[in-house]
């Protein structure tokens, strides 16, 4: 057992025995390093473990406190198993401490999952929303229930034609953002206990969805330069009764990697051979820096097995919560699930977005947005070269707004996250993108915000933290 | 085995053997009554069973067809077990054939779950939405993420004060309608396989939520005059490891019954004794016909165990999808679940509704709406007395817009539903409100639409159908 685990166990015993009642402030890190003769990072890791176990909670800039309900029985102490077997997923409160920091206006949002809201045509959108709502037929509250507002779905189908996909309007279901689309797809094709294939690293919400639905996940490695490992996937499909795959094909979160056209075609063929549905998360596809939009895997689907999920949250209308799925043969099942679990996507929002897509100049806005993100990528790369240690590795993404940094092996991304947050900077630590909290030396950096002296200074601080002896 | 079951089995065997390929139109009811020497209702019930099993599909006014995928293995043929034991739930496609008919503009919406959209101040709402969206701070797309827009939550807290409840704003989480609030509550306090207590009859979406989350349900009888049977509930709590209750305390769907204040208090005390959380669905509470709003059970909660779920979908803004939960001790868990499963409720919608609640005259609108519903209840009662057979029983609800009709024992509500639909009238058959498809002689009638000659004539037709020899 490592030292930090031993320390965590000791403190857990104290808490469970009631010697540290709920609400008690825990000793400072400095105090514990002295008391136990251990390094700061050992104390931090022990605290993260206690936090994961639900025994303590951090209050930012104030310290750690014994959490409500900390008197519960101890969790099974076994370490996460190696990658081979499908496992039920237990995503800890880790994710939330990261997400909560995103809302703090005083924190530099390098850890945000969103681009700056200032990059979006919110005024033009509000005009469309006002216009469409003023014109709303009262009966649209019934008529626009799932599959959704028809003019909107026709506008979306037109955009598929732009990608070379003849997308039947009937198979398009409007959802509350892509998040709901993805969850509905997963619900439609699995039952609790089923095995699904996800990426590693992957979007953390996929981990949580898999957890909530009682599924087991087999993780397929994603290389930051090559993307999904199709050989491992093929092996997993042979070995396990995989009921669905949830993959991000373009500008993957967190690595930023895009599958080549050949690999997309091979992926679709492989899954078709096994009759396994693909839930394709393509929320970043429109944010390409090259001339053409990378096609989704859906473009190569001839059997209706690919459910292509996307939204306008990253490209047009953050906070509106407007997404959809092109659901192939699962369209009717998903429409019914949507009706049953969330009744409908907001009717005024659907009508407003339909109006914007028809009259608002979406493509012009997209060109501007892509230009801004590309410029910000450049500024971020310059800052990395200037401020961060040279041994940091990353692949340059051709779109989106994430950089996946592989830090030197000894760096603890969780510690870096905590230290950075204490200095008013949010970065997303690698372990939240993995069911097993792997990628302990990686962080995801967001370049979706217009460059500022604040960002520059945050990068400088990160460099200092990375160079400091831990 | 009953005759209709035998007939269904025979036909299922034909379909599974491939002798009736996918897409084949099934013989007419008339043809089968002759061929097998059975009554029409036997054929109908066999068809409903085949439909439930996913083997056939109805196309309205056209007949039944063999469904895609009908070649799958047979479901376990055991009939539903009696009421005693908690059971996993299998809600069939029954519900959807009823819901789908709601969207058809040519159908008289006595089976709708909504009041007429014309009863709502949609123009005034659109003004608030336009105003609030024009003023929207771009950062609100981050700041208004769960728990949600703060001015909105303050407005909601004020309404709780009006009910005599000091509701902390921090425990209010904004959701996509009450439906999401209810599901999040259920997710927060259960794990797959857990037992939950639900009503019988109950809102069908509760059945489906229980099914999707892999829970087992124990059904507690609801008397249309007295409400929930607390003795049976007490017995269930002693006998089963019930992890949560999902009850509708005011103007229950479908019966319309309201629990008395004494019973509400007793319910809260009983659950507190067992430390069992109550998920309280109170979406109709504001639609009271008496002077005062009936309090929710939440008013008697001293331990934070009651999660009070409500929305504006039935009282102000149908289709906006704005709901919330006053979540007591579960507030933080639910806020995190919301963030993880749906990111946020639409930001413009939150801001627009906050503006309306502050400036739009909600209480004045509510008084008008209640008056309209009360008048419509009167018209419906008159029509029932005039057109329907005298042996129909129902309790007069003190609010909401549903009547729960108990038809003579020999009436098959599913058949009535089908026959009425063929005549352009939608009524909601009792069996969709029960995991075991009980209440076969009950229907729910909606009086939420302004009375018209079309409604009057629909009631007359229902009377004819009920008097016709089956």
pLDDT tens digits for range A82-103: 333 565 555 556 777 777 777 7
CB contact under 8 A, B208 and A340: yes
**Cα separation values, A97 from A103, A447, B68, Å:** 11, 21, 46
Question: Quick one: three-class SS letters along B342-384?
Answer: HCCCCHHHHHHHHHHHHHCCHHHHHHHHHHHHHHHHHHHHHHH
- What pLDDT does B79 receive? 31
Give B83's pLDDT tier (boundaries 50, 70, 90). Answer: very low
Which residues of chain B are within 8 Å of residue A143 when distances are taken between CB atoms?
103, 105
Q: Residues 338 to 377 of B: which have CB under 8 A from any A CB? A: 339-349, 352
**Which secondary-structure segment (H or E) carries A247?**
strand A242-248
Question: In this complex, is the C-beta atom of A192 within 8 Å of any C-beta atom belonging to chain B?
Answer: yes
A-chain CB neighbours of B334 within 8 Å are none
**B48 or B354, which is more confident?**
B354
Summarize pLDDT for A126-156 with one digit per residue, the tens.
999 999 999 899 999 889 999 999 999 999 9
**A340 and B187 in contact by Cβ < 8 A?**
no
Of A112, A141, A345, the CB nearest to B117: A141
List every span in chain B annotated with CATH 3.40.640.10. Answer: 119-362
Q: Is 70 exceeded by the pLDDT of residue B52?
A: no
User: How far apart are alpha carbons A345 and A173 in whole angstroms?
Assistant: 10
Per-residue confidence (pLDDT) for residue B231, from 0 to 100: 98
% of chain B with per-residue pLDDT over 70 = 87
Contact A102 B142 (CB under 8 A): yes
B94-118+367-467 CATH pick, 3.40.250.10, 3.90.1150.10, 3.90.230.10, 3.40.50.620:
3.90.1150.10
Lowest-confidence range among A170-179, A181-190, A206-215?
A206-215
Distances (CA, A) of A14 to A30, A70, A78, A100, A469: 19, 11, 20, 28, 31
Average pLDDT for B411-429? 93
- Contact at 8 Å (CB) between A346 and B321? yes
Residue of B nearest to A143 (CA): B103
* Model confidence band, residue B89 (pLDDT cutoffs 50, 70, 90): low
List of chain A residues whose C-beta atoms are within 8 Å of the C-beta of residue B342? 176-177, 179-180, 321, 342
Q: Which of residues 282-341 of B touch A (CB under 8 A)?
A: 313, 318-321, 336-337, 339-341
CATH assignment of A3-79? 1.10.10.10
pLDDT category at B68 given cuts 50, 70, 90 is low
In b/e form, how buried is each residue of A43-81, taking b as 16+ CB within 10 angstroms?
bbbbbbbbbbbebbbbeeeeebbbbeebeeeeeeeeeee
Nearest Cβ partner of B336 from A96, A116, A183?
A96
Nearest CA distance, A214 vs chain B (angstrom): 7
- CA A327 to chain B, closest CA, distance in angstroms equals 16
Q: Which residues of A touch B116 (CB under 8 A)?
A: 138
Going by DSSP bridges, is the β-strand pair A442-446/A428-429 parallel, antiparallel, or unpaired?
A: antiparallel
Residues of chain B with CATH 1.10.10.10: 3-79
Beta bridge partners of B403: B445
pLDDT single digits (tens) B314-334: 999 999 999 999 999 999 999
Average the pLDDT over B336-343 and give the result. Answer: 91
Asked if the C-beta of A126 comes within 8 angstroms of chain B's C-beta atoms, the answer is: yes
- Residue A135 corresponds to which tokens in the numbers above? 């014109």
The structure tokens listed for B454 are 């079309």
Helices and strands counted in chain A (H then E): 16, 14
pLDDT at A334 over 90: yes
Q: Contact A162/A366 with Cβ under 8 angstroms?
A: no
Cβ contact A234:A218 at 8 Å: no
- Whether the per-residue pLDDT at A73 is higher than 50: the answer is no
> Is the CB of B141 less than 8 angstroms away from the CB of A179?
no
Residue spans in chain A of domains classed CATH 3.40.640.10: 121-361
Interatomic CA distance for residues A112 and A445, integer angstroms: 8
Cβ within 8 Å of B, A 84-113: 93, 95-96, 99, 102-103, 105, 112
pLDDT at position A437, please? 87
Residues 406-425 of B with CB under 8 A from A: none
Residues B112 and B254 sit within 8 Å (Cβ to Cβ): no
Tell me: pLDDT of A158 over 60: yes
Cβ-based contacts of A108 with chain B (< 8 Å): none
- Which among A118, A179, A192 has CB closest to B214? A192
Q: Which residues of A206-219 are buried (b: 16+ CB within 10 A; e: fewer)?
A: bbbbbbbbbbbbbb
Tell whether the model's pLDDT for residue B456 goes beyond 90: yes
At A5, which helix (H) or strand (E)? Answer: helix A3-16
Look at residue A76 in the predicted model and tell me its pLDDT: 32
Fold of A94-118+364-467: 3.90.1150
Q: Which residues of chain A lie closer than 8 angstroms to B336, CB-CB?
A: 93, 96
What is chain B's mean pLDDT, rounded? 89
Residues B286-291 have a mean pLDDT of 97
A101-110, B241-250, B337-346: range with lowest mean pLDDT: A101-110
Q: Smallest CA–CA separation between A116 and chain B, in Å?
A: 8
Q: What is the pLDDT, as a whole number, of residue A74? A: 31
- Strands B216-223 and B87-88 turn out to be antiparallel
Flag whether pLDDT at A72 surpasses 60: no
Any idea which of A20-24, A323-327, A389-393, B342-346 has the lowest mean pLDDT?
A20-24
Every domain range in chain B assigned CATH 3.90.1150.10: 94-118+367-467
Percent of chain A with pLDDT over 90: 72
Local confidence band at B143 (pLDDT 50, 70, 90 cut-offs): very high
Task: Please give the radius of gyration of chain B, using alpha carbons only, rounded to the nearest integer.
Answer: 23
Architecture in CATH of A121-361:
3-Layer(aba) Sandwich (3.40)
Residue B10 scores a pLDDT above 80: no
Predicted confidence at residue B74, as pLDDT, reads 31
Domain B119-362 has CATH 3.40.47.10: no
C-alpha distances (whole Å) from A10 to each of A3, A389, A418 are: 11, 36, 22
- Chosen for mutation from A184, A343, A349 (greatest number of chain B CBs closer than 10 Å) is A343
Of A140, A192, A205, the CB nearest to B319: A140
Distance from the B116 Cα atom to the nearest Cα atom in chain A, whole angstroms: 8
Surface of B (127-146) touching A: CB under 8 A? 129-130, 133-134, 136, 138-145
Q: B134, A126: Cβ pair inside 8 Å?
A: yes
* pLDDT at A303 > cutoff 50: yes
Between A45 and A465, where is the model more confident?
A465
């Amino acid at each position: 057992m490592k030292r930090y685990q031993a320390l965590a166990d000791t403190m857990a015993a104290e808490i469970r025995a009631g010697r540290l009642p709920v609400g008690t402030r825990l000793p400072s890190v400095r105090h514990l390093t002295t008391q136990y003769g251990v390094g700061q990072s050992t104390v931090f890791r022990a605290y993260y473990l206690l936090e994961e176990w639900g025994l303590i909670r951090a209050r930012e800039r104030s310290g750690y406190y014994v959490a409500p309900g900390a008197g519960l029985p101890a969790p099974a102490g076994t370490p996460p198993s190696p990658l081979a077997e499908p496992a039920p997923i237990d995503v800890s409160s880790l994710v939330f401490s990261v997400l909560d920091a995103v809302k703090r206006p005083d924190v530099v949002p390098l850890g945000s999952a969103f681009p700056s809201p200032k990059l979006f045509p919110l005024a033009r959108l509000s005009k469309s929303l006002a216009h469409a709502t003023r014109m709303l037929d009262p009966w649209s509250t019934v008529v626009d229930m799932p599959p959704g507002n028809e003019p909107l779905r026709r506008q979306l189908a037109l955009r598929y034609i732009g990608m070379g996909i003849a997308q039947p309007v009937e198979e398009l279901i409007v959802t509350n953002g892509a998040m709901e689309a993805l969850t509905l797809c997963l619900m439609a094709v699995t039952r609790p206990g089923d095995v699904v294939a996800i990426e590693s690293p992957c979007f953390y919400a996929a981990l949580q969805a898999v957890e909530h639905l009682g599924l087991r996940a087999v993780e397929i490695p994603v290389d930051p330069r090559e993307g999904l490992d199709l050989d491992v996937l093929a092996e997993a499909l042979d070995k396990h009764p995989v009921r669905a795959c949830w993959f991000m094909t373009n500008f993957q979160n967190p690595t930023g990697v895009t599958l080549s056209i050949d690999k997309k075609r091979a992926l679709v063929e492989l899954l078709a051979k096994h009759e396994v549905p693909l839930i394709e998360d393509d929320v970043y596809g429109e944010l390409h820096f090259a001339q053409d939009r990378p096609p989704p895997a859906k473009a190569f689907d001839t059997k209706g097995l690919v459910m292509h999920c996307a939204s306008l949250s990253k490209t047009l209308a953050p906070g509106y919560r407007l997404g959809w799925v092109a659901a192939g043969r699962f369209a009717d099942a998903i429409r019914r699930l949507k009706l049953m679990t969330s009744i409908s996507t907001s009717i005024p929002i659907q009508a407003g977005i339909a109006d914007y897509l028809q009259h608002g100049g979406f493509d012009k806005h997209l060109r501007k947005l892509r230009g801004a993100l590309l410029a910000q990528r450049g500024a971020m790369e310059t800052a990395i070269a200037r401020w961060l240690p040279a041994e940091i590795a990353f692949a340059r993404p051709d779109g989106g707004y994430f950089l996946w940094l592989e830090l030197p092996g000894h760096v603890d991304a969780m510690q870096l996250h905590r230290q950075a947050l204490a200095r008013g900077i949010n970065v997303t630590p690698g372990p939240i993108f993995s069911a097993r909290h792997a990628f302990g030396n990686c962080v995801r950096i967001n370049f979706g915000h217009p460059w500022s002296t604040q960002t520059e200074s945050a990068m400088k601080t990160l460099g200092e933290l990375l160079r400091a002896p831990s």
